[in-house]
Amino acid sequence: MKKMDGKIAFITGAASGIGRATTGKFIAEGARVYTIDLNEEALKAMQMEFGADKFACQVGSVADETAVDKAFADCAERFGNVDILVNNAGLGIPTPDLSNTSLADYQKMVDVNMTGVFLASRAALRQMKPRGKGHILNLISMAGQRTNPGAPVYCASKFGARGLSGGLADQMIKAGIKISDINPGPVNSNYWGDREVPRDKFLQVDEVADIILFVAATPGHLVIREINFDNMKWLAK
222-231 pLDDT, tens digit per residue, is 999 999 999 9
Strand-by-strand arrangement of the 55-59 sheet: 55-59, 32-37, 8-11, 84-87, 134-139, 177-184, 226-229
Half-sphere CA count of 191, side-chain side, radius 13 A: 27
- Global pTM reads 0.97
Per-residue pLDDT at 193 exceeds 80: no
Is 106 assigned a catalytic role? no
Query: What kind of fold does domain 8-235 have according to CATH?
Result: Rossmann fold (3.40.50)
Kindly calculate the radius of gyration of the chain based on its CA atoms and give it in whole angstroms.
Answer: 17
Active-site option among 34, 106, 154, 191: 154
* Long-range contacts, stretch 218-221, CB < 8 angstroms, 24+ apart: 220/133, 220/178
In the chain, the amino acid numbered 202 is: F
| CA separation, residue 108 to residues 32, 64, 94 (Å) | 30, 12, 12
Give per-residue pLDDT as tens, 13-44. Answer: 999 999 999 999 999 999 999 999 999 999 99
Q: What is the mean pLDDT of the chain?
A: 96
20: phi then psi, degrees, rounded to nearest 5:
-65, -45
The mean pLDDT value for 183-188 works out to 95
pLDDT band at 194 (very low <50, low <70, confident <90, very high): confident
